[in-house]
Structure 1
Amino acid sequence: MDTRELLTDAFHRIPELTRSLTDGAGSELLHYRPDRDANPIAWLLWHAARVQDDHVAALAGREQVWTAQGWMERFDLPFDPQDIGYGQSSEEVGQVRVEDPSLVVGYQDAVTAMVDEYLATVDDQELGRVVDDAWDPPVTAGVRLVSVIGDVMQHLGQAGYVRGLYERRG
């Protein structure tokens, strides 16, 4: 297995997990918050897809799927088009409403297709390209991809935990 295949495998686990987290989910489950400041599944999945879209589109030098394919209009959220959820207040988190899980699954699928297009171009030179020299050591495209995978998997794990809490409540 080469690096491109490894990255593709990791990124393809994300839509599979997104589907399993939304399987049979209704509005109550998608928006359940274990406490008033907890992130609900709808927000966690939206944010995970937005992070991938934002970061990989920047690596690829292309417009985000969010704006290029009309997902921003479909979600109809009261946020800036470039907002990915980072640093949002509890009130803003609560504004992410997804009544139909196919919306977040569809967006994730579109993001995965864009990631696939970028990964098809990736070679050792691209992985070593410095994309942020504000860090020591500077961040390369390869490090950014691993960072995105780690961040997204962490949020999907949080969504799984929230789903478990919802399903176990009395």
Structure 2
Amino acid sequence: MMLATVVEGTALKETAARSTGAQDTASGDAAARDAAARRRWALIALAAVAVLLVPWTVVLAVTLPGSTQVDNWPLAWIGLDVLMAAGCATTALLGLRGDPRARLTASATAAIAVLDAWFDITTAGTGAPLAQALLCAVAEAGLAGACARLALGKGRGRRQAP
């Protein structure tokens, strides 16, 4: 009788474990579906923003003046370069530690370098200022390329303990 009770108890525990596992799997599946739905809606929202930016760009092209007076011009350029330097430093620090978040900072730094090059060229005067801007843009394009390669490459990932 004692053996039968133990066997029945074990069978009940196994059935309960399978049932709980099925519930865990079902709740995990539901969570995955919810996450996929949230991701899908976020992507739909991004697509909507992309579509809405087209007419906004046309409005800007038609209404913005050809030139303007800008306050705090040096601060704007210094801030952009400080941001780019911080991105480079953070990417290097995280990358040397084997932290996978280095891909994120590399991505952001690449974007900043491209923006810097764009504004260097589009705001430069003719002649020597434009030549200097183009020279800087070549260096910034190199930085953007290196950062994009770091962001998209396989990388080292997180270091494993020996």
* Fold similarity call, TM over 0.5: no
Larger Cα-atom Rg? 2
TM-score norm. by structure 1 comes to: 0.30
TM (norm. structure 2) is 0.31
